[in-house]
Structure 1
Amino acid sequence: MMKLPSGEMGLPWIGETVEFYKAQRSNQLFDSFFQPRIKKHGNIFKTKLMGSPTVVVNGAAANKFFMSNEFKLVVSSWPTSSVELMGKNSIMEKQGDSHRCLRGIITSTLNVSGLTAMVPRMCSSIHNHLQKNWQDKEEISLYRSTKMLTFTIVLECLFGIGIEPETLFGVFERVLEGVLSPPVNIPGTKFGRAKKARSEIEKKLVGEIRRKREAMEGGRDEEDGLLLSKLVAALIRGEITEDEVVDNVVLLVFAAHDTTSYAITMTFKMLANHPDSYSLLLKEHEDIAKNKRPGEALTFEDVKKMEYTWQVARETMRLNPPIFGSFRKATTDIEFEGFTIPRGWKVLWTTYGTHYDETYFPDPMSFNPSRFADPIQSYAFIPFGGGPRLCAGYQLAKLNILVLVHYVVTRYNWSLVYPDERILMDPLPFPSKGMPIKISPKSHHN
């Protein structure tokens, strides 16, 4: 006899979807959806979300079990609308060998030599962005600004794509709005608008990919170590298709810019509310800046010295995870901790299940970056997921956060306009007012 976890399945078909969405919109998923159910049923409970019976699992052991059994017991399972908009040929949908092949190409761009080459490029993208958008301003929207910047960095520093970021930014934003909406493809619906925007992006990218291919085949373009060249080289060798190149560019631009810009914005919010942490962080960056000539770019070695800054960023992502978790689908009946999860059911692991648990993080609701000075239990801190599906761009996100923090804190005095600004979600978290900050240039800076 199968023993299912306890929990409520809610209304027929709808299940507990309405409560889930309501909690999500107000960024109260932990307080008003997960926590009351964990209290009542324990760390593993069943529910019904978006038409699927779902088992929610919490804790480092559960995270490790489900993340490391990817492709064996579970497969990634995103809502139809997400798959349609990100692309069926993206790494998020691929299994087994084709997943490994694509992932290998992506991670080879983000190895040590790739990252070393990327730092000066990133410095110049950030420098240009600040000059263009912060110069002579007294107040800016930090969230809007970092979204535009992370978007630019992905296009320029990761892919080496020469399209003006401004022309694509709004189109990508329209696609994102439809990612978790009902997949109804008629004009005027969120999904309809998103599909239209998606085909606009596709046209531009296909043009870019074909130009690149022609240049590489004609010997006019060197393989420059950037991701677009690597994907096109694999395309020329016949290892992947043009659709796979397009879908993975689209997916990575999304994955990289939205979550990273939220992490950066919240890092500044935390620093503003914790002046002691801010003075420690500032000292770290002033020491690095002291050894630079005016206008000299940072190096990968400089970034490695930003240890405390990375503790601050991780503690920020622990308290404000950019994603709440991720859905998997059981490909077979799974026995776990005395329960059976039937084949075909969804499994949802959550970041809150460990990030807010005092077993892993004593006094979990307080901001304490130095807890990351010691090793953290594996699979307890999971803002980037884990296992074979660990976020492929996580090294890029890390660089992006550290380098931008460096330029802002060494060049500007800044303060939050609304220290208690609310965070909302749709479908990802964002500050309700765009996190405006007041800025003034520091008199002497590199």
Structure 2
Amino acid sequence: MELVFLSLFLIILSSFLTYRFFFISKRKDPKLPPGSLGWPIIGELLAFTRSGQNGTPQDFVQERMDKHGARIFKTSLLLEPMAVFCGPDGNKFLFSNENKLVASWWPTPVRKIFPSSILTATADKAKQTRKLLMTFLKPEALQKYVGTMDAVARRHFEVEWEGKAEVMVFHLIKTYTFYLACSLFASIEDSDQVLKLGREFDVMIKGILTLPLNIPGTRFYRATRAAEAIRRELRVMIQQRRVDLLEGKASPTQDLLSYLLVTPDDNGQFMVEKEIVDNFLVMLFAGHDTSASTLMMIIKYVAEMPHIYDEILKEQREIAALKGGDELLNWEDIQKMRYSWNVANEVMRLKAPAQGAFRTAIADFTYAGYEIPKGWKLYWSVNTTHRDPEYFPEPEKFDPMRFEGVGPAPYTFTPFGGGPRMCPGKEFARLQILVFLHNLVKRFRWETVFPNEKIRVDPMPAPAYGLPVRLFPHPS
């Protein structure tokens, strides 16, 4: 009987969407952006996904930019007609018109998995939540955590890397970044608990940009159940933390969890439990998968370019030489890692951890001579600028010096987004990456086992075989 109802539902949905897409695609209004809405229901999602699976997510956008000769085109992704804004002008328009002409929007899977978070909140609520999170994540607040990050990284390398001829990089980095996020955000130190949460988290992330088919066996079905399993764990932790705070066993400032429990917003309102849980899920995502993906790509690129490795090693050894004995890294040391951060930025230019983000039109407006109807979904992609030779000469060349001086032109380098919705965890990610890189190059040189290993994007860059590398320790 369940199968009969499911089949009937899909037939009705298919009929509705076929009519809807046929109507939109046959509009005589010449002012809509050029492009195609693709097939009924699935639109151009298969082509979008295929370009990521092939390791070239930029192809989907670039092919349509070349075909239509425009800085905007229409398509259909995730059951929605969509206008894709291209280039720095498109980025600037979307970032600067937040809550004026456009508002944040995410596909159904994201809204289902993070229903009460900063990602899906209304403008005013998102602003209040962002302010709370930024108080914890701003550089001044993060300075005190540099030493803790360094200590965690040292233990990680001592246990997981040293004494081994070969390691599986992507698995180790994901384990490290997730443990660090759990430790700093919620004081979770139990490695078994971290591993359990990490496994559920990996399943959840796989389903955030898929068709919202809540059917056993689909990614979305598995993702929603993994998210609920994590929520159950977090609710238990929140209840225990409330008790510990009342009894003085926990500090109001010890981590993000305590901070969110005891800190009201500007209106004097405290977050309810479901808001804390959902925002915590978002922060684990921002502080885990994106950084892990970037670190993995740094290791891959640097293995292929010994001269880049040598410059990083030189910089990090100069910093280490000024430290006494087992002295941990501090904020001043991080500021000296200029070249290393340039390398990380060049990696993110070529293989950004997130490919873009969505908005929705909250009013009819005109852009580049085309009319965008209210309610249409909008998408901006890092790949419309990151490899554009107009802004990055010889775009396929790996050149960290692009980021010296004034750096790239405004709105051309956007791995963390921009405007009011810029990623609040940008500075946390910088610390994670630089502390890990410092500890890695001090200990090893390395080479990849599979030099041409494919990097698939699903929804973030991930190596086909886990990026195994051979390690060559420095002489003592």
Residue 392 of structure 2 corresponds to residue 361 of structure 1: yes
Which residue number in structure 2 is paired with residue 167 of structure 1?
196
8 Å contact from structure 2 (residues 261, 270) kept in 1? no
Equivalent residues in 2 for 1:11-410 (5 A)? Answer: 11-31=39-59, 33-41=60-68, 42-85=70-113, 87-164=114-191, 165-234=194-263, 238-375=269-406, 376-410=408-442
Structure-2-length-normalised TM-score: 0.89
Secondary structure (helix, strand or coil) at the match of 1:395 reads helix
Deviations 1:391-428 (A, max 9, x none): 11111111111110000001122221122111112222
8 Å contact from structure 1 (residues 355, 361) kept in 2? yes
Deviations 1:297-323 (A, max 9, x none): 100100100000000000110011111
Secondary structure (helix, strand or coil) at the match of 2:263 reads helix
* Cα offset, 1:155, TM superposition: 0.9
The ranges of structure 1 where at least 4 consecutive aligned residues each deviate by more than 6 angstroms after the TM superposition are: none
Structure-1-length-normalised TM-score: 0.95
Secondary structure (helix, strand or coil) at the match of 1:183 reads coil
Residue 431 of structure 1 aligns to which amino acid in structure 2?
P
Distance 2:356 2:366 in 1: 21
8 Å contact from structure 2 (residues 78, 210) kept in 1? no
8 Å contact from structure 1 (residues 235, 241) kept in 2? no
Secondary structure (helix, strand or coil) at the match of 2:447 reads strand
Residue 342 of structure 2 aligns to which amino acid in structure 1?
Q
Which residue number in structure 2 is paired with residue 433 of structure 1?
465
Distance 1:11 1:97 in 2: 37
Distance 1:161 1:69 in 2: 39
Deviates more, 1:231-240 or 1:292-301: 231-240
Residue correspondences, number: 442
Aligned residues: percent identity?
38
* Cα offset, 1:374, TM superposition: 2.3
The runs of 5 or more residues in structure 1 that have no matched partner are: none
Secondary structure (helix, strand or coil) at the match of 1:179 reads coil
Residue 253 of structure 1 aligns to which amino acid in structure 2?
L
Distance 2:459 2:219 in 1: 12
Distance 1:273 1:266 in 2: 11
Distance 2:124 2:279 in 1: 16
8 Å contact from structure 2 (residues 71, 90) kept in 1? no
* Cα offset, 1:162, TM superposition: 4.3
* Cα offset, 1:337, TM superposition: 1.8
Distance 2:216 2:33 in 1: 42
Secondary structure (helix, strand or coil) at the match of 1:187 reads coil
Residue 205 of structure 1 aligns to which amino acid in structure 2?
L
Deviations 1:66-122 (A, max 9, x none): 02222222222222112212x211110012221112111211112233221110110
Deviations 1:150-194 (A, max 9, x none): 111111123433453223111111212222233233433322222
* Cα offset, 1:383, TM superposition: 0.5
